Amino acid sequence: MYDMDERTSDANNKKKFIREMIIYLLVIVISVIFVPKYIAQRTVVDGESMMNTLSDGDNLIVEKISYRFSNPDRFDIVVFYPFGKEENEYYIKRVIGLPGEHVSIHDSSIYIDGELLEENYGMDPIRYAGTASNGIMLGEDEYFLIGDNRLESYDSRYPEIGPVSKDKIAGRAVLRIYPFKKFGLIR
């Protein structure tokens, strides 16, 4: 009789172990696949187009949830895929123009619907207005994105990039995690 109880106990322990392993495996799969694709991911800044706000090599956390329920706001720093997500080439820029707005650049100043945009993110004068020199009207799902380093940024001013549709925006940069001395929220 004792042997039967012992075998039942061993069988229950094996079932419990298998159940726990399945749960651990599911947690790992969700963490590795689901979280980076749909919730948040680490991104590394490559280049100087967002100086002085972000530096080459900064590691950021990009959250991907809020833009599923709302739209990017002016001055958000976003990660986007200028040539589509299948290309795996992403850029990090600041939202300047919102859907339905007219964006123009004259004499190093940005104008939204004819009004001077009050902002202090760009450190250098804008020497290349590009597509915004004659003004550009954004569509109902388009954003005008510019890097803070106006002299070194390849952005919506260039016809190859142009206005960026919301479906190309992966998420909003919210936290710098490295270098540690600059750890903190991104503004």
Q: Cβ atoms within 10 A of the Cβ of 106, count?
A: 14
CB neighbour list of residue 182: distance below 8 Å, 6 or more residues apart:
55, 58, 176
User: Does residue 49 have an active-site annotation?
Assistant: yes
User: Does residue 70 have an active-site annotation?
Assistant: no
Catalytic residue among 9, 14, 49, 64: 49
Give the integer Cα–Cα distance in Å for 143 and 35.
26
CB neighbour list of residue 146: distance below 8 Å, 6 or more residues apart:
93, 94, 96, 110, 122, 153, 155, 156, 157
Catalytic residue among 16, 64, 93, 166: 93
102 beta partners = 137
Place of tokens 């190309």: 168
27's enclosing H/E stretch is: helix 2-29
Positions annotated as catalytic residues are 49, 93
